[in-house]
């Protein structure tokens, strides 16, 4: 059996599957977990790859660490989405963190992850609170401030479509403390149908944040293997020498558990190929 995800006409990914471990139509989406032949267990939502046990380190390290190290002292962190638990696990590696709220709309994602991706999450960590709510409404209403917000949603179809909207980033800015920083996943630059959503998201970041940049990561099971992410802050530049010093020290301490991220990657990931620049300019 093969799992297929097409991203460019009839071009896409094909993965050898041994067994379907989980399959549920929830009120929001279709959540599935497959046992694959070489990637460990693989979670998909609406037939799109979310993560496999073997490659999830790239996405989670790259969504979380550039932002977490850029902040001088991140104590309170909000994760929108991220129900598989991988982003929270990376956030919780930072010793300054006191409290993490993870707002996941779909409890089935967490349930499937706990059962079939047990190495991905750190759900027993007492610093982590999981709330089953709509993240978009949550940032509209939340009163407390966060130092870092991580937006770990799915593709701009279905429940995640408003994670690419102007009002969502306005609310995120309001929910961030003075030095606040956010990161978000922003799709593959090779999927032309998402370009309008990507463009809209970066326009929103420009409106509501002093600093905003796209950066990239190599994710083998995502469309075309190229994934874009967003960094936005109320003032901290990700290439500030103080930030780079924190990255250098922090990655040394965290080294045995990092398989992708390092200081060179922190600097180099913000380099964008010409055709990618053109998407957001």
Q: Which residues of the shown chain bind a second copy in the complex (CB under 8 A)?
A: 2, 4, 6, 8-16, 36-39, 58, 190, 216, 218-221, 224-226, 258-262, 264-265, 267-275, 277
- Give me the torsion for CA of 229, 233, 239, 242, rounded to 10°: -140
Shortest approach of a second copy to residue 58 CB, angstroms?
7
Give catalytic residue positions. Answer: 152
Shortest approach of a second copy to residue 260 CB, angstroms?
4
Shortest approach of a second copy to residue 65 CB, angstroms?
11
What lies within 8 Å, CB to CB, of 123 at 6+ separation is: 85, 88, 110, 114, 130
d(CA 92, CA 111): 20
d(CA 272, CA 52): 26
Nearer to a second copy by C-beta: 118 or 273? 273
Nearer to a second copy by C-beta: 144 or 264? 264
Nearer to a second copy by C-beta: 68 or 80? 68
Contact 156, 165 (CB under 8 A): no
Nearer to a second copy by C-beta: 171 or 262? 262
Contact 135, 103 (CB under 8 A): yes
Shortest approach of a second copy to residue 258 CB, angstroms?
6
């Amino acid at each position: 059996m093969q799992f297929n995800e097409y991203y460019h006409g009839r071009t896409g990914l094909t993965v050898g599957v041994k067994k379907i471990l989980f399959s549920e139509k929830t009120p929001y989406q279709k959540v599935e977990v497959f046992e694959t032949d070489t990637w460990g267990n693989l979670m998909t939502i609406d037939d799109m790859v979310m993560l496999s046990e073997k490659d999830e380190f790239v996405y989670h390290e790259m969504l979380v660490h550039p932002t977490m190290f850029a902040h001088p002292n991140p104590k309170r962190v909000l994760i929108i989405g991220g129900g598989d638990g991988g982003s929270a696990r990376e956030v919780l590696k930072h010793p300054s963190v006191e409290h993490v709220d993870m707002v996941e709309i779909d409890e089935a994602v967490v349930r499937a992850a706990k059962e079939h991706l047990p190495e991905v999450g750190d759900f027993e960590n007492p610093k982590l609170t999981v709330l089953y709510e709509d993240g978009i409404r949550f940032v509209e209403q939340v009163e407390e401030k966060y130092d870092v917000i991580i937006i770990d949603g799915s593709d701009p179809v279905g429940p995640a479509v408003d994670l690419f909207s102007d009002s969502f980033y306005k609310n995120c800015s309001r929910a961030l403390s003075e030095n606040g920083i956010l990161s978000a996943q922003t799709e593959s630059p090779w999927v032309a149908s998402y370009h309008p959503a990507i463009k809209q998201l970066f326009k929103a970041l420009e409106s509501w944040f002093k600093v905003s940049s796209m950066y990239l990561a190599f994710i083998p099971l995502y469309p075309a293997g190229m994934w874009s992410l967003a960094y936005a802050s109320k003032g901290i530049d990700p290439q500030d020498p103080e930030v780079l010093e924190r990255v250098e020290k922090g990655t040394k301490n965290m080294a045995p558990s990092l398989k992708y991220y390092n200081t060179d990657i922190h600097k180099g990931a913000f380099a964008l190929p010409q055709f990618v620049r053109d998407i957001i300019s």
